Amino acid sequence: MLFQQCRFRRGSERTVAWIKARYAKAGARVELKTLDNLGAWIVEAALGVPHEAKALEAMQRQNRKSLSSVMNTIV
């Protein structure tokens, strides 16, 4: 499964996260698995190239806690 890093906005909030590549389209509304349930985020931009989940997990192990966990999307 491919994941894409994206920049998101929700009101005045901004964040960057990895989501399933098929949802990484500018203007798409997605819900990120976060600590709150304050509603959907809007994809502002897809960044870089998609990566396989295993590659992201390897990067996370190498760079301990430098990447947020791969997040699930609810569409």
pLDDT in tens, 10-69: 999 999 989 999 999 999 999 888 767 888 999 999 999 999 988 888 877 777 655 455
Task: Check residue 47 and give its pLDDT.
Answer: 94
Using CB atoms within 10 Å of the CB of residue 22, give its burial: 0 to 12 exposed, 13 to 18 middle, 19+ buried: middle
Backbone angles phi, psi at 46, to 5 degrees: -95, 135
Task: Check residue 56 and give its pLDDT.
Answer: 83
Task: Check residue 35 and give its pLDDT.
Answer: 64
Task: Check residue 33 and give its pLDDT.
Answer: 80
Task: Check residue 52 and give its pLDDT.
Answer: 93
